[in-house]
Each structure stands twice: as C-alpha cells, then as structure tokens.
Chain A
Amino acid sequence: MTQDVAIIGIGLHPFGRHDTLTGRAQGAIALRAALKDAGIGWDRIGIAYGGSHDAGNADALCNDLGLTGLPFVNVANGCATGGSALASAVAAIRSGSAEFAVAVGFDKHPRGAFNPHPRDWGLPDWYGETGLMLTTQFFALKTRRYMHDHGITEDALVRVAQRAFRNGALNPQAWRRREMSYGEIAESMPVNLPLRQYMFCNPAEGGAAVVLCPAEVAKRYHAKPIIVKAAVVRTRHHGSFEVFSPALAAQQAPAPTVTASRAAFEQAGVAPRDIDVLQLQDTDSGSEVIHMAENGFCEHGEQERLLRDGETEIGGRLPINTDGGCLANGEPIGASGLRQVIEICTQLRQEAGARQVPGNPRLGYTHVYGAPGVSGVTILQR
C-alpha cells in the first residue's frame, strides 16, 4: 500500500518586484515561514528539492538555513520546476528515504519577456536569431488555432484576465491588486495577437516552500494537514503542440497536460467533477482557456459559456485561480508552481480570507505547464 503524504507547512514570499532582495533571500524567507508553519527545524529535514531559473542554485539556500548535510537536489524544469520538486519530495517520503522533506522555489527575472537561448533547448541558433523563438508567440499561435477549432472568441480571453485581477484585488499578497474593466483589457496593447498586454503575466520575483511528512504523523505537526492525493509530472509526446517548436507533426497528439491530468485523477481515485477549487497555469488568458479543457474540467469549446456565466468565479461551481493566478501574481519561474499549491492549501484550510471559496472545500487541484513541454499536476485533499 502506498504511503499517503501530507503538507504540514507552507511559506510564501509575496511575488512582485523587490529591489533590495536577492531571489535566494526571498526563497529563504519562504522556507523559514514554511518550517515555522510546520513547527519543525531545518535540521530535521531529510531531503530537499528546489529550483530557480535565473537566481542561482537552489541548494545555496543551505548557506542561509544551515549546513546540515542533507541531500539537496536542484530542479530545473522551466515553469514546471515547482511541480517537479513537489512530486520528487512526495516520492522520497513514499519510498521511506526521508521522514520530512522540503520543496522550495524562488526566482528573480530581468524585466520584459523571457529571452531563451536556442542551444539550451536543443534548437538551432537561426530559430532565435530570426525572431521565431518567443514564448509569447507560442501562446498566441496555440490560442489562435484553438479559438478557430473550438469556436472561442476574444470575449473569453478578456474574461479570464478580468477575473484574475478581480481575485488579485482580494489577495493581500498579490502583486497586481487593481481590478480592470473589460474595455481596459480588451483594448490594451497588442503583444502577440490575439493576446494583448493585460492577457499576459509578467516575469517577477518571489519565493515559495512547502514541508511534507507521512500523513499518518502529520497531525502532530499541523492541525490541518493537507494530503497529497497525487503529484504527477509528464513530458510531451511526439506530435503535441509545444512551445519552441520550429515545426509541428502532421498528426497531433494530446498535450502533456492531458496525460499528467489523467494520471493524477487515476492516482487520486477522483474525477474532475469532485474538485472544489483549482489552479490552472495562466501564463496568458489563452493558456488558461485551453487548460480548462485539457485538464478535464469542461469540453473543448465550453469555456466561453462557463466564463460568461460566472462559473469560474470564487463563488462559482469551478473556482479557478482564486489568488489571481500568474496574471495577478507574476511568474517567478522557480516558485510559481508552489504558489499554486500554497493557495490550494490555504483554501482547504479555510484561511483565504476575502477570497475564501464558500462551502468548506475538500478537494483541490493544481496544474503547471512549462517549456519545452512539461506539465505537473497535484490533487490535494483536506
């Protein structure tokens, strides 16, 4: 029988811009907060997984927290870094190789769009030099085709962003806390049409950490442990439509999000209709729309109606990105996936204040997607 694993500590250094703090310092603040929440010391942690994209090796955190000799694995899986760190920490506890484990992430990116280097991704230099290797282009191209295939209009793209900023305004830790009108979003600067300025999240800074232990002892450390029912990571198959693709195969295959989601639901023994609160990767409005269906929460093409009818709002049947998501919090790559997990834990603990989902939510869901085609899904239970 598989050992259940619980989250007993969560810690966040709010995302945004923090000119006086290094990325690592923000990771250390988040990690200390998570340990304090769990009520245990760093010296009891048996294994750690952590990542940062632009702010150095995560295991440098040991220089802040203490050189206890623990195994510390640096994780580098793009936007899915947090999800990968968490899945690894869960596996370590399940296997019995540690009693207490940490998953941590932090980052600090330069302003403006990410500028990946082709060789880091196994691609030829000309692909970047001629102006074809931009993540924003991929999101726009995938969204445009999806809208064409499934009858989605720009209305859905505006409503996703509007809800993100509305939820962000309720979240004291969010970076962008100003509600925006429909028109302000719909008429914002074209970045990569059909996606506009306020439909994209921005690179940011921040830190996030969780502490885990076997579920059977979790209550000793936290009054409201959150059980990790599934933590799954999957990479792309031949034929799926992924970021950084100079060409797409003739025959399309399901995205890694689809395979990760199905595996997670199977592992947890629950279905999409059982989920009470969820986080979907919203690097941009279009991605969130696509991810609603790829994760099994609706049919392809049904999204626009759900958004218009308020079903994805905090009080709706399918509350998505209750903390404002990437759109309102920005994206420090290493920390972003763990922010999602922390928000779901906060909701399941009923500690989300003004943005609390009503009705005593029991099951939550998180989903990240990262270059060059990695998805991480967790299912969490009160």
Chain B
Amino acid sequence: MPHPVLARPDLIRFEGDTPHLVGSRCDECGEVYFPATDSCTRCTATRMSPHDLGHRGTLWSWTIQGFLPKAPYNGGETAETFQPYGVGYVELGSGIKVESRLTVADEAKLQIGMPLELTLIPYRRTDDGEVHTFAFRPAASA
C-alpha cells in the first residue's frame, strides 16, 4: 500500500506500514530532540545524528482545540465546518514529550497516562488529494 501524502515527510519514517517519528540525538550528551535540530540546547554541542523516536507513548497532558485557528493554520475548514480536535504532549520511550494532534477530542475519553500509538491523519485537502499529519490514537494493545 502506498504511504499517505505528508505535510512534512522528514518527520516520519516507515517500518513496513508503521510510521515512526524521526528526531535527532546529541552526539555529545545524548539529549533527544523533535523535530530534528542541528544543535543541542542542553550542552551547546553542534554534532547531532538522526534518531528514531518510535511510535508508542503515553499521554502526558492534553487539551481540546475548541475554535478554528487563524493562519498560518491551513486545515481549510470554515467556522461552520470546524470540528474541535485533540492536542496533547505524548511521552515517548526516551522521556521526550512530543506535541501532537490526538485522534480523540472527547474529554471523557482522554486521561493522562493512557497508552497511545502514532498514526497519520488527513488534516487538509488540496486539488491533489488529502495531506496527512502525524497524530496519536489510543493504543490497540498495551
């Protein structure tokens, strides 16, 4: 199956059909970054290597975006068609917390600590089709 069209292909690498987030890791002190950076704000080093951040995590904090964001947001909805979406920080294996869309936007179904996994969701439509971005959804199995 072809992979979906991504807003930023360099944030994602595929292991089979499973998307993983890609960041960077400081060669000197080991600090992990997302998105990838070319310098380390922890130790000020400038030698960084690409780093696979994996595809599983737990919900560290969350909110529900209740209004249509202004530009530069380009999801394309109108005030009438806009549907609130979930946003959270997701803690990954290394301890880094990545800010991400959540597939769930129901406060009754979101809880700090819940297991999540990475997915790709369409967030915008162009003449060429749907454009996807990364999001986390409740994990199928722990």
| CB contact between A144 and one of B31, B34, B61, B97 (< 8 Å): that residue | B61
Q: A273 in the interface, Cβ–Cβ < 8 Å?
A: no
Judge whether A145 and B66 touch: CB under 8 Å: no
Judge whether A129 and B61 touch: CB under 8 Å: no
Which residues of B sit under 8 angstroms from A129, Cβ to Cβ?
A: 7, 72-74
Which residues of A sit under 8 angstroms from B8, Cβ to Cβ?
A: 124, 126
Q: B65 in the interface, Cβ–Cβ < 8 Å?
A: yes
Closest Cβ of chain B to A196, distance in Å, is 9
**Complex formed: what's the CA distance from A137 to B101 in Å?**
11
Q: Known contacts A191-B66, A193-B66; is A118 also within 8 Å of B61 by CB?
A: no
Which residues of A sit under 8 angstroms from B65, Cβ to Cβ?
A: 131, 134, 137, 192
Q: B71 in the interface, Cβ–Cβ < 8 Å?
A: yes
Judge whether A190 and B66 touch: CB under 8 Å: yes
- 8 Å CB interface, B63-121 against A: 63-67, 69-75, 84-85, 87-89, 94-101, 107, 112
Q: A113 in the interface, Cβ–Cβ < 8 Å?
A: yes
Q: Which residue, B11, B74, B75, has most C-beta atoms of chain A within 10 A?
A: B74
Judge whether B72 and A115 touch: CB under 8 Å: yes
Q: B23 in the interface, Cβ–Cβ < 8 Å?
A: yes
Judge whether A126 and B7 touch: CB under 8 Å: yes
Q: Known contacts A112-B70, A115-B71, A131-B75; is A193 also within 8 Å of B63 by CB?
A: yes
Taken residue by residue from 128 to 155, chain A's Cβ proximity to chain B (1 for < 8 Å, 0 otherwise) reads as 1111111001001110110010000000
Q: Known contacts A130-B133, A238-B41; is A144 also within 8 Å of B66 by CB?
A: no
Q: B35 in the interface, Cβ–Cβ < 8 Å?
A: yes
| CB contact between B42 and one of A115, A128, A130, A249 (< 8 Å): that residue | A249
Closest Cβ of chain A to B39, distance in Å, is 11
Q: A220 in the interface, Cβ–Cβ < 8 Å?
A: no
| CB contact between A131 and one of B42, B98, B123 (< 8 Å): that residue | B123
Which residues of B sit under 8 angstroms from A124, Cβ to Cβ?
A: 8, 35
**Complex formed: what's the CA distance from A239 to B43 in Å?**
12
Judge whether A247 and B73 touch: CB under 8 Å: no
Which residues of A sit under 8 angstroms from B67, Cβ to Cβ?
A: 113, 191
Which residues of B sit under 8 angstroms from A217, Cβ to Cβ?
A: none
Judge whether A249 and B112 touch: CB under 8 Å: no
Which residues of A sit under 8 angstroms from B89, Cβ to Cβ?
A: 141, 145, 247-248
Q: Known contacts A129-B7, A148-B112, A246-B35; is A251 also within 8 Å of B95 by CB?
A: yes
Which residues of B sit under 8 angstroms from A248, Cβ to Cβ?
A: 60, 89, 96-97, 99
| CB contact between B87 and one of A137, A145, A191 (< 8 Å): that residue | A137
| CB contact between B60 and one of A113, A117, A145, A245 (< 8 Å): that residue | A145
- 8 Å CB interface, A174-198 against B: 189-195
Judge whether B133 and A137 touch: CB under 8 Å: no
| CB contact between A113 and one of B62, B70, B123 (< 8 Å): that residue | B70
Q: Which residue, B60, B69, B75, B94, has most C-beta atoms of chain A within 10 A?
A: B69
A-B contact pairs, 23 of them (CB 8 A): A113-B67, A115-B70, A115-B71, A118-B72, A131-B75, A131-B123, A132-B100, A137-B65, A144-B62, A145-B89, A190-B64, A192-B63, A194-B63, A238-B42, A246-B99, A247-B96, A247-B97, A247-B98, A248-B89, A248-B97, A248-B99, A249-B31, A250-B95
> B residues touching A (Cβ–Cβ < 8 Å)?
7-8, 11, 23, 31-35, 41-42, 60-67, 69-75, 84-85, 87-89, 94-101, 107, 112, 123, 133
> A residues touching B (Cβ–Cβ < 8 Å)?
112-113, 115, 117-118, 124-126, 128-134, 137, 140-142, 144-145, 148, 189-195, 238-239, 245-251
In the A-B complex, list the 7 residue pairs whose CB atoms are closest, starting with the nearest: A250-B95, A140-B63, A115-B70, A128-B72, A145-B61, A247-B34, A248-B97
Additional A-B contacts beyond A115-B71, A247-B35, A250-B32 (19; CB < 8 A): A112-B70, A125-B72, A130-B73, A131-B65, A131-B123, A134-B65, A137-B63, A140-B63, A141-B61, A144-B63, A145-B89, A191-B67, A192-B65, A192-B66, A238-B42, A246-B34, A247-B23, A247-B33, A250-B31
